[in-house]
């Protein structure tokens, strides 16, 4: 194979970071810092597991599996599961939640503070039209994504963020406050679930394809070379994410003394920028947010348009990109708080499935790809996570909660973990009772 160019690997790593680092990556860590106070380091550790570690594993899982897309990977469970899970995931990280959120967060954090008090819906409408027009343009020119995102926008984004972080660290706004009620105990697990809101583990199934294809185009022909390229690029992205998440958590935790408790991470970021830079802070923050959200939006529209075009070949990629951009612009006008509230129950329900699928992918050779292992493990996982989602939506079924309360870690949102592991062993036991030839293992 051709020797991987180091500068190309760095560009891919920056591109992957930029694709991951979007709306939620800015607003959720800083808000978590405010809420967790003196327990922020513990909460941040949990956030990094789901916001950094799992997305990196998701990218590596594709290289390890040898599959070309999420649909083929998820079809190891069952063909029907492959279609349903893949479609739900693309809708979640696409036009229903993640793509519209990039536009609404960009406006709420980067533009609205500069406009002063206004109840008019016209500025948001105008901004989302411009934002998603730009998104659509770059999505229609997908070949430019590595150059534009990896080599131009990402370095600028990092410079903007570094300025704010450096000043906040060397000149802190105040001491850490006491944690709020939700972070008084089990801060690690609370932070773990907050990491769900970034949707990065779900997105890793999509962005992993972009990275793998880019590495293959540079000459990687063996599984070892592919994994090596993925690991290098993924490590760059993961390292940057971990540093920035930790810094944003610190900023949030040290801001309470000056700002008080604010309603969302966007308001916290705006307050911090104003505190340090005055009116210039709004402009700096706007550049950070819009650049971060725009790069993520471009990547998501490109990935979703490719998937839906593959599912419905009669509709062109370009038409899907236009439809997704237009639909996302409309949904973005619903409002940031509403989007987050609606997404939480869905994420609580499907995130454990994604986590389980990642680990089953890495252990695939150990159980020789027997579908029973996937089916039983994921079924028990979803049985628990479904009710976690219902609880998050305020639909609590007391009898079910009492029954599941005997499960380890159920009270901290990880009740699905033991059933997932036990289900894998039960599934493997079932597979031993049949003589059908298992799926061929990808070396």
- The pLDDT assigned to 226 comes to 85
Of all residues in the chain, what percent carry a pLDDT higher than 70?
Answer: 93
* Confidence (pLDDT) at 326: 96
- Using the 8-state DSSP alphabet, how is residue 38 labeled? G
Kindly list the distances between the CA atom of residue 134 and the CA atoms of 29, 81, 103, 290, 368, in Å, as whole numbers in the listed order. 27, 34, 11, 11, 46
Cβ(285)–Cβ(270) below 8 Å = yes
Q: Kindly report the backbone phi and psi dihedral angles of residue 247, in degrees, each rounded to the nearest multiple of 5, phi listed first.
A: -65, -40
pLDDT (average), residues 227-249: 91
- How far is the C-alpha of 304 from the C-alpha of 63, rounded, in Å? 20
Confidence (pLDDT) at 1: 42
CA distances from 56 to 232, 242, 295, 333 (A): 10, 11, 18, 32
Single pTM value for the model: 0.88
Residue pLDDT, tens place only, 310-362: 999 999 999 999 999 999 999 999 887 788 888 989 999 999 999 999 999 99
Q: What is the pLDDT of residues 98-156, one digit of tens each?
A: 999 999 888 888 888 777 777 778 889 999 999 999 999 988 875 555 455 556 666 76
Phi then psi dihedrals of residue 296, to 5 deg: -65, -40
Residue 3: predicted pLDDT: 47
Determine the Cα–Cα distance for residues 443 and 432; give it in Å rounded to an integer.
22
Cα radius of gyration rounded to whole Å, the chain: 22
Six token digits for residue 389: 């989602």
Confidence (pLDDT) at 79? 93
Mean pLDDT within 371-400: 94
Instruction: Quote the tokens at residue 129.
Output: 């039209």
Q: What is the mean pLDDT of the chain?
A: 87
The mean pLDDT value for 34-41 works out to 95
Q: What angle do CA 442, 360, 380 make, to 5 degrees?
A: 140
Q: Which of 370, 279, 443 is nearest to 77 (CA)?
A: 370
d(CA 188, CA 183): 9
For 260-292, what is each residue's pLDDT tens digit?
888 778 778 888 888 888 877 777 778 777 877
Least confident of 42-46, 125-129, 204-208: 204-208
């Amino acid at each position: 194979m051709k020797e991987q160019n180091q500068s190309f690997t760095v560009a891919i790593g920056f591109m992957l970071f930029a694709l991951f680092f979007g709306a939620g990556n800015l607003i959720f860590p800083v808000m978590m810092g405010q809420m967790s106070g003196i327990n922020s380091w513990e909460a941040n550790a949990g956030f990094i597991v789901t916001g950094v570690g799992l997305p990196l594993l998701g990218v590596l899982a594709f290289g390890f599996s040898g599959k070309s897309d999420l649909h083929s990977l998820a079809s190891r469970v069952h063909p029907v599961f492959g279609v349903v899970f893949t479609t739900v995931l693309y809708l979640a990280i696409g036009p229903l939640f993640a793509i519209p959120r990039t536009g609404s967060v960009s406006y709420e954090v980067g533009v609205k503070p500069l406009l002063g008090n206004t109840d008019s819906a016209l500025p948001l409408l105008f901004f989302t039209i411009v934002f998603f027009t730009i998104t659509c343009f770059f999505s229609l020119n997908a070949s430019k994504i590595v150059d534009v995102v990896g080599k131009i926008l990402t370095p600028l984004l990092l410079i903007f963020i570094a300025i704010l972080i450096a000043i906040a660290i060397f000149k802190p706004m105040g001491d850490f406050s006491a944690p709020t009620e939700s972070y008084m105990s089990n801060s690690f697990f609370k932070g773990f679930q907050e990491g769900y809101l970034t949707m990065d583990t779900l997105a890793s199934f999509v962005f992993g394809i972009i990275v793998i294809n880019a590495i293959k185009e540079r000459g990687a022909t063996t599984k070892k070379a592919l994994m090596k390229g993925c690991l290098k690029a993924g490590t760059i992205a993961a390292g940057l994410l971990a540093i920035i998440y930790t810094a944003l958590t610190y900023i949030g935790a040290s801001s309470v003394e000056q700002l008080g408790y604010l309603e969302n991470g966007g308001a916290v970021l705006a307050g911090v920028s104003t505190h340090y830079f005055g009116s210039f802070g709004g402009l700096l923050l706007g550049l950070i947010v819009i650049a971060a959200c725009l790069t993520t939006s471009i990547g998501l529209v490109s990935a979703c348009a490719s998937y839906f075009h593959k599912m419905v070949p009669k509709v062109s990629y370009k038409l899907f990109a236009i439809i997704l951009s237009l639909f996302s612009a409309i949904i973005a006008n619903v409002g940031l708080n509403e989007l987050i509230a609606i997404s939480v129950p869905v994420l609580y329900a499907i995130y454990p499935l994604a986590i389980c699928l990642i680990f089953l992918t890495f252990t695939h050779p150990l159980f020789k790809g027997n579908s029973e292992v996937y089916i039983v493990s994921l079924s028990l996982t979803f049985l628990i996570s479904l009710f976690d989602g219902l609880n998050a939506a305020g639909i609590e079924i007391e009898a079910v909660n009492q029954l599941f309360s005997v499960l380890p870690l159920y009270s901290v949102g990880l009740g699905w973990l033991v059933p997932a592991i036990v289900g894998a062993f039960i599934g493997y036991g079932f597979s031993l009772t049949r003589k059908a030839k298992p799926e061929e293992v990808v070396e």
